[in-house]
Amino acid sequence: MPAVPIWDSARMRVHIGSDHAGYELKNYLIAVLTEDGHELVDHGPDSYDAEDDYPVFCIPAAEAAVADPGSLCIVIGGSGNGEQIAANKVVGARAALAYDLDTARLCREHNDVNVVGIGAGCTPPEEALEMLCASSSQPPSAVTPRHARRIELLADYERTRSSSNA
């Protein structure tokens, strides 16, 4: 398999968490990305449990990525919606749901995401990997003044909990 260009094509640390619905895709991505030389930090689950709860795994994965600048976080569930919502509860996390190549690319280009949510029930493994590559090939949006301004407005709100600047 050819090298997988994740986040600016550099070998990097990737934090990953899922629930039971994302368990198989999580393990697939861990195997492929590790084979390509990336350092994977698995925040769970360690085994399949149909009764597990995604916040238990996705919040710690997002916290770790925020504390580890330059790393990537991937959160996976059935649809990916709840997982990216959970990740967005972490101050400093910018999580977006990638459901096709365009949204995967734009989440990085326009929002400088550090967390990508993927729905395992909606996305075949090879397509999920392709979406991560599409997202990671984009330059950070901070180079675009309009998008940098929007990201700073979000960061201001996180700090102050005031929407007066928005």
Active site residues: 83, 110
Residue pointed to by tokens 């934090």:
15
Per the structure block, which two tokens stand in for 157?
Answer: 């709100």
Dihedral sign, Cα of residue 49, residue 78, residue 127, residue 151: negative
d(CA 16, CA 41): 6
Is the distance from CB of 92 to CB of 80 less than 8 angstroms? no
What does DSSP assign to residue 46?
A: S
